[in-house]
Chain A
Amino acid sequence: MKFRKGPLLATAMMLVCAVATAELGEITAEQSEELKQWVADNPRDGGTLRSDWNYDVPEGVTTKDVTYYSDEIPCYAKIFYPTEFSADGSWPAIVLGHGYNAKHYAIEKHAARFAERGLVAMVIDFRSYGMSGGYISLDQDDPTTDEVRHNDVFARIKVKRTRLISHYQVEDYRSAISYIQGEPGVDPERIGTWGSSHSGGHQISLPALDARVKVSVGQVPAIGGHDWDGKPRPMRKRLLEDAILRAREGQGAEIEVGFSFRGTVDLETQQTGSEYQPFLYVDRIPESVPILLIYAEKEELFNNETHAVAFAAARKEGETKLIEVPHIGHFQIYSGPAYEIAVEAAAAWYLKHLGTGH
């Protein structure tokens, strides 16, 4: 944690708004005090409050609900456009994905702020979450053969929601990137991504897998795998039995998960989750991609030392910047002064590395 002693209070307050002139991520003494007070008055155990998600669409910012397709499943996104946006212009764009078992509602305010700062911001629901479509399978025999590729039929189907598969979420981000690259007015060469908590880890995977990601920001990011050699681990007995059940009968066991949003996922999620370790990709991220990781000093869900901090130390080429927000726990970053610090730092990071729209 860094803070600057000495400057006048007014200057310190201006720094909150004028991040372009201040060193990015420097937390002033006044900010730290404000955070400390706010944390004492606003505990957040195990999730955010619905009131944390509230925001006003900034003056001049416009929004549009769209359907993007990921693996042929229709999905939901809301795009926020800056005041001066024009479909004839050339604007940088950010894709935002939600956290563990969450939905787009909790992070709309981040997209709104990015738009206010001059970025097109597309906030998505992952497949089978929120307003995105679910996974479809047949509840009857499949009569089709390879001779006819496309078969449009009226059929009995099953739709399943809340499948939490980490690498599919990364695919959803990539599908959304494709979507926004084709948006009139967006510069397809200036795309960034944003994530928080579980999707904070995706901010490591995405630039490692997709050259279109020019910059990423992860807040309270879960970046597992610092001590993993990449070799597959034997399946735990219960998860193996469940994999066998799924393969032989189609549906396995289910479990309850979630923080701000509670829900049911397949037990499969524990297996796929254990196989998803963003740290694996540390050496594959292009040197040209700057990554900002904003973490909570009192993070209670994982150890920053082996996640964000370890990642920054392990990355040999390219810029990784760390900002530690003092006093807060995991879920306090979504509201109050911590939200202000994190969202403004992210916006400044994107503008610095992607440039402004025109």
Chain B
Amino acid sequence: MTDRIATCGALAALICATVLMGTPAEAQEIKNSLTPEDWAYTLPDGVTTKEVKWYSESIQCWAKVFYPKDFSEKASRPAIVLGHGWTGTHSSMEKYGARFAKHGLVAMVIDYRGWGNSGGFISPLQDIRTDDMVRHTTLTATVRIKRTRLLPMKQVEDYRNAISYIQGEPGVDPDRIGIWGSSYSGGHVVTVAALDARVKVAVGQVPAISGKNVPMAPRPIRKALLEDAIKRARTGKGGEFKTGFSTPRMVDIETQLEASQYHPYHYLYRIPETTALLFIGAENEELYGPEKNKDRGEAAANEHPGPSKYIDIRGITHFEMYIDEAFERGSNAAAAWYLAYL
């Protein structure tokens, strides 16, 4: 049963992972992950970095901040927060942070709670009694630190808390903040921009902006996911499954439930008209179904009444966006967009 859930889950959670994956010959050659070679970059001349600790829901998180050449704490530079995709970490995004810094932007590359170098989620393994009259208690106890929880709205919260962090960074102009996302977080940038007026510009590449043709209404929960929700609510522990591309990880089946109810497209109408949106898609996108980007990034760019643009990079598939010519085009287009609107 678990294996079946795992298989179904892997497919379901990969936002319309398509029949293409199963077709012979050409499919075998589609790049389906990133390697350390793909993540590699050279720090541009004059660009410096600093590893920082920031807090999201009291959990200590990690980020690497890239500073442009001639950055000064007395200056007032725009800043970009970059969050990673499905089971990714900061590793795949550092090259983008470096590139944005090369163009004069401060860039904060984050790990979400529970991922990479950020702290995990804490739950008690013993009875802990505290009282409302005493708001803060410090104690020692047996707890579980759980990692690799993949919940979209928590990642959205992490973006927002990282924005707060970087707004307080000496040398950053708190009124000139942009966000960047890729793949799953390409959808998050829509959600964050809709919830947070501090976001002036958002860029999503190969963005998972699901929901255009999904009614904005609650839907019944699939039996297996409901059983898992009940188990979690009654025992504190649910099932797990393995998912991911470059570095597959075990995540909770809860992820499937949350992901099935998460539709960034439903947030589009709430984004202020003054916010500038850029989406960059792969022409031969294989992860988002037969419509590819027509009902995702492209549709989102068309629907937004404010400044918006969709760039279709020809001849590439999802993961090819991160490398070679596509990386150059995508990262430079994003930087240009930030500079134009920040």
Which of A6-14, A39-47, A66-74, A340-348 lies at the interface with chain B? A66-74
Interface string of A118-138 (1 = CB under 8 A from B): 000000000001100111111
Q: How many A-B residue pairs have CB under 8 A?
A: 221
CB distance from B12 to the nearest CB of A (A): 18
Whether B234 contacts A68 by the Cβ 8 Å rule is: yes
Whether B119 contacts A142 by the Cβ 8 Å rule is: yes
CB distance from A340 to the nearest CB of B (A): 30
Residue B232 lies at the interface, judged by CB distance under 8 Å to chain A: yes
Whether A235 contacts B198 by the Cβ 8 Å rule is: yes
Which residue from chain A places its CB closest to the CB of B193 in the assembled complex?
A232
Which residue from chain A places its CB closest to the CB of B198 in the assembled complex?
A235
What secondary structure prevails in chain A residues at the interface with B? mixed
Whether B218 contacts A151 by the Cβ 8 Å rule is: no
Whether A161 contacts B135 by the Cβ 8 Å rule is: yes
Given known A-B contacts A142-B60, A275-B195, A134 and B146 have beta carbons under 8 A apart: no
Beta-carbon contacts under 8 Å, A175-212 to B: 175-176, 178-179, 181-182, 188, 207-212
Given known A-B contacts A138-B122, A161-B135, A178-B232, A207 and B60 have beta carbons under 8 A apart: no
Which residue from chain A places its CB closest to the CB of B166 in the assembled complex?
A247
Interface string of A46-87 (1 = CB under 8 A from B): 000000000000000000000011101110000000000000
Which of A15-23, A25-33, A238-246, A303-311 lies at the interface with chain B? A238-246
The residues of A that contact B115 with a CB separation of less than 8 Å are 146
Tell me the bound Cα distance from A299 to B325 in angstroms: 64
CB distance from B122 to the nearest CB of A (A): 4
Q: How many residues of B contact A (CB 8 A)?
A: 73
Whether B147 contacts A231 by the Cβ 8 Å rule is: no
Sorting the interface of chain A by its residue count into under 10, 10 to 19, 20 to 34 or 35 or more gives 35 or more
Residue A149 lies at the interface, judged by CB distance under 8 Å to chain B: yes
Whether B56 contacts A146 by the Cβ 8 Å rule is: no
Whether B123 contacts A155 by the Cβ 8 Å rule is: no
The residues of B that contact A150 with a CB separation of less than 8 Å are 144-146
Residue B226 lies at the interface, judged by CB distance under 8 Å to chain A: yes
The residues of A that contact B135 with a CB separation of less than 8 Å are 160-162, 254, 263-264
Given known A-B contacts A136-B123, A235-B198, A149 and B131 have beta carbons under 8 A apart: no
The residues of B that contact A176 with a CB separation of less than 8 Å are 233
Whether A152 contacts B144 by the Cβ 8 Å rule is: yes
A interface, CB within 8 angstroms of B:
68-70, 72-74, 103, 129-130, 133-139, 142, 144-146, 148-162, 175-176, 178-179, 181-182, 188, 207-213, 229-235, 240, 243-251, 254, 261, 263-264, 275, 283-284, 286
20 further A-B pairs in the complex, CB-CB below 8 A; given A130-B132, A178-B232, A284-B217: A68-B234, A70-B233, A72-B236, A136-B143, A149-B147, A150-B146, A153-B144, A156-B139, A161-B134, A162-B132, A178-B229, A178-B233, A179-B230, A208-B218, A230-B270, A231-B271, A231-B272, A235-B198, A244-B165, A261-B132
Q: List 26 A-B contacts (CB under 8 A).
A: A74-B124, A138-B119, A139-B138, A142-B119, A142-B120, A149-B146, A149-B240, A149-B250, A150-B144, A151-B146, A155-B142, A155-B145, A157-B140, A160-B136, A161-B132, A178-B226, A178-B230, A178-B233, A178-B234, A233-B197, A243-B161, A246-B55, A247-B161, A250-B58, A286-B217, A286-B218
